[in-house]
Amino acid sequence: MISFSKALEIIKKNVKKNKKYEKIKTENSISRIPFKNYFSKNNYPEFDNSAMDGVVINKNDYSLNKTYKIVDEIKAGDKKSTELKKNESKFIFTGAPIPGKNKKLVIPIEELKFIEKKIFKISKDFIPRNFIRQKSSDIKIGQKIISKDKILNLRDTLLALRANQKYIDVFKKINISVIISGDEILNKNNPKGFIPSTNSKVLETFINLLNGNLVEVKYVKDKKEDIKKTVKKLNSHDLLITSGGISKGRYDLIKESLLEMNLKILFQGVAIKPGKPTTFGTFKNGTYFLGLPGNPISCFVTSVFFVNEIINSFYGNRKNLFVEKEIKSTRNYVNNTKLTLFLRIKLIRTKNHLSFSPIEKQDSSLNSELSRADGIIILHSSEKVLKNRIYKVFLFDSLNLNYI
């Protein structure tokens, strides 16, 4: 059995960064990772344009005592407009091009006093300001708009779209197949099962949140021939995750079956609680294997850390799914084991303060305790949680998704 930190180190060392990429529409690129840097091929704005609805005049004509004649209008869809003559003006709308080459002044519509329908004076209270957006004031030709290896968020995507970048090459998603094992698991192929498959939902959720591609979920009984047959029929994938069948019981046949199918185990058994049976390895064809316990709480907790670590390593970036916060404990808790404990915690909220307390019942059979937990604190062997001390915790309601 190896330590938790050693297990993560082995995963980092053996999961190679993905080098395959695909072209996608920029509008679909949120949470994807660019294969290369991108630079704008355009200026934005492409031309000087108005920041307000109003009128445009020659700057040299400006006077609060003059009257001006409106000779035309310029809309946002127009690409250009002819030069103004002396004391002429044009209606101009937000985003519309500034006419001609002479210096101009835009006066907002609320600052106009109309004498006739198209004859006006400028309000005596008007203070000249710059209501003109200059060409390339936002984006310049050659400006970097997308950075390689950065997880794209909505703001990145909007910038790229504004720069008229219609397609982006992004690294392909990690393809993941899941196998849930156990004669007791109720599913369409096993109507006699008596336990609903919550682990399939756990893995589906984490894979989607971590931006993986769930290829399929299969169910197998505790029979080697059933396991092998199912594995052989799986679609192409980069990672196979199994739930159940990796302990040392009579019917724990996943590892035994996969070893006969050229699985090389890199670690089996981690000094953690819950999740001791967790197993990791590789197949000869280069795909990865992660064996998780069948116990629902163990599967949930190990998914938080091990599924996350594999996907991080595959994408070549480092992020935790759950946001880390430093919060004060309200009571003591001692780890008297030689294991790393993943303690479920409960937050305590008062008007001006946030603290936490380790949940008293940590048994991995208690789904109700996981349901009321607000996060996890990692407590290594012989470590203590002391009352009124501040500790780093992982909170379930604070996700690091990079969407916005």
User: 162-178, pLDDT tens digit by residue?
Assistant: 999 999 999 999 999 99
| C-beta pairs of 191-200 under 8 Å, 24+ apart in sequence | 198/296, 198/367, 199/243, 199/244, 199/292, 199/294, 199/296, 199/299, 200/243
Q: Could you tell me if 44 and 136 are in contact, meaning their C-beta atoms sit under 8 angstroms apart?
A: yes
> For tokens 């993560």, what's the residue?
8
Give residue 124's Cα distance to chain centre.
53
Distance CA 397, CA 33 (A): 24
pLDDT score for 401: 82
Domain with CATH 2.170.190.11 in the chain: 49-133
Give yes or no for residue 185 having a pLDDT over 90.
Answer: no
Q: Could you tell me if 46 and 135 are in contact, meaning their C-beta atoms sit under 8 angstroms apart?
A: yes
What's the Cα-to-Cα distance from 138 to each of 40, 101, 134, 154, 166, rounded to whole Å? 11, 20, 9, 17, 18
- pLDDT tens-place string over residues 283-336: 999 999 999 999 999 999 999 999 999 999 999 987 888 989 999 999 999 999
Give yes or no for residue 365 having a pLDDT over 80.
Answer: no
Burial classification of residue 331, based on how many CB atoms lie within 10 Å of its CB (0-12 exposed, 13-18 middle, 19 or more buried): middle
pLDDT score for 29: 96
Of 113, 111, 80, nearest to 98 by C-alpha is: 80
- pLDDT tens-place string over residues 370-391: 999 999 999 999 899 999 999 9
Structurally, at CATH architecture level, domain 322-399 sits in Beta Barrel (2.40)
Q: Could you tell me if 209 and 321 are in contact, meaning their C-beta atoms sit under 8 angstroms apart?
A: yes
pLDDT score for 193: 82
CATH fold, domain 21-44+137-171, is Molybdopterin biosynthesis moea protein, domain 2 (3.90.105)
Domain with CATH 2.40.340.10 in the chain: 322-399
Distance CA 336, CA 351 (A): 34
CA pseudo-torsion sign 57, 63, 64, 65 = negative
CB atoms within 10 A of CB 292: 29
Distance CA 341, CA 364 (A): 11
Least confident of 121-130, 187-196, 346-355: 187-196
pLDDT score for 251: 59
CA pseudo-torsion sign 183, 188, 192, 198 = positive
pLDDT score for 319: 80
Structure-block tokens of residue 105: 């002044």
pLDDT score for 113: 96
Structurally, at CATH architecture level, domain 49-133 sits in Beta Complex (2.170)
- pLDDT tens-place string over residues 230-249: 999 999 999 999 999 887 77
Least confident of 133-142, 211-220, 351-360: 351-360
Give yes or no for residue 252 having a pLDDT over 80.
Answer: no
Q: What is the DSSP string of 41-88?
A: SS-BSSS-EESSSEEEEEGGG--TT--EEEEEEE-TT-S--PPPPTTE
Domain with CATH 3.40.980.10 in the chain: 4-20+173-315
pLDDT score for 129: 92
Domain with CATH 3.90.105.10 in the chain: 21-44+137-171
Of 304, 291, 303, 194, nearest to 247 by C-alpha is: 291
Model confidence at 118, in pLDDT bands (50, 70, 90)?
A: very high
pLDDT score for 125: 92
Q: What percent of the chain has pLDDT over 70?
A: 99
Domain range 4-20+173-315, its CATH number among 3.60.150.10, 3.40.190.10, 3.10.20.440, 3.40.980.10: 3.40.980.10
